[in-house]
């Protein structure tokens, strides 16, 4: 009585933070759920109340890093430029983030390549478009979500899972 329960997103913060630290220090493939639980100060069973496994943690870590990156970009961008010349950096930024020829394309591709590889190995990935095209499309979708302050992590994840990822899989 009188005890406020934390929201799912509040409970996920330390779990995702611990997962990111483990991914960074040990690598994604060598990170165990026990390591994440220990880093979050929880039991392994408690972690499984919020995520179903490593794939969930990878998705949540990517979404969280994209959100941090968006916050950094927004903090350094003039939201009300005086003229078109001052607005030009936003256009360049958009091209940097979404253009298949940008350095970001290779970084985003490297993040998704292991997931695409596993999906292809299981016959789940569409084969009528290239992985490069998939990455370019996902870059655009992720860029659309970065300024969405109205969506929490779980809502963003649901949209990406239900719409973006399903569009890349075989029917």
Q: How far apart are CA 116 and CA 118, in angstroms?
A: 6
> Domain 7-51, CATH 2.40.50.100 — does that match?
no
The pLDDT assigned to 84 comes to: 45
CB 153 within 8 A of CB 60: yes
The pLDDT assigned to 144 comes to: 78
| Domain assignments of the chain as residue spans, ordered by start | 7-51, 53-168
**Tens of pLDDT along the chain (171 residues)?**
344 445 677 889 999 999 999 999 999 889 999 999 999 999 999 999 999 998 889 888 888 887 787 677 666 655 555 544 444 466 666 676 677 777 777 777 777 788 888 888 999 999 899 888 888 888 878 777 777 778 887 888 888 888 888 888 887
> Which phi and psi angles does 148 have, rounded to 5°?
-80, 80
Q: How far apart are CA 149 and CA 168, in angstroms?
A: 26
Q: How far apart are CA 150 and CA 138, in angstroms?
A: 20
Q: What is the pTM (predicted TM-score) of this model? A: 0.51
């Amino acid at each position: 009585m009188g005890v406020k329960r934390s929201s799912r997103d509040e409970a996920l913060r330390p779990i995702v933070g611990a997962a990111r630290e483990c991914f960074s220090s040990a690598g994604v493939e060598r990170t165990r759920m026990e390591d994440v639980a220990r880093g979050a100060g929880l039991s392994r069973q408690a972690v499984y109340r919020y995520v179903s496994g490593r794939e969930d943690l990878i998705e949540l870590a990517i979404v969280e890093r994209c959100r941090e990156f968006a916050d950094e970009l927004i903090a350094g961008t003039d939201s009300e430029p005086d003229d078109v010349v001052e607005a030009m950096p936003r256009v360049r930024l958009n091209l940097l983030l979404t253009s298949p020829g940008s350095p970001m394309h290779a970084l985003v591709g490297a993040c998704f390549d292991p997931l695409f590889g596993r999906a292809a190995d299981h016959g789940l990935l569409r084969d009528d478009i290239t992985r490069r095209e998939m990455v370019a499309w996902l870059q655009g979708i992720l860029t659309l979500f970065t300024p969405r302050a109205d969506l929490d992590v779980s809502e963003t994840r649901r949209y990406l899972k239900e719409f973006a990822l399903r569009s890349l899989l075989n029917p």
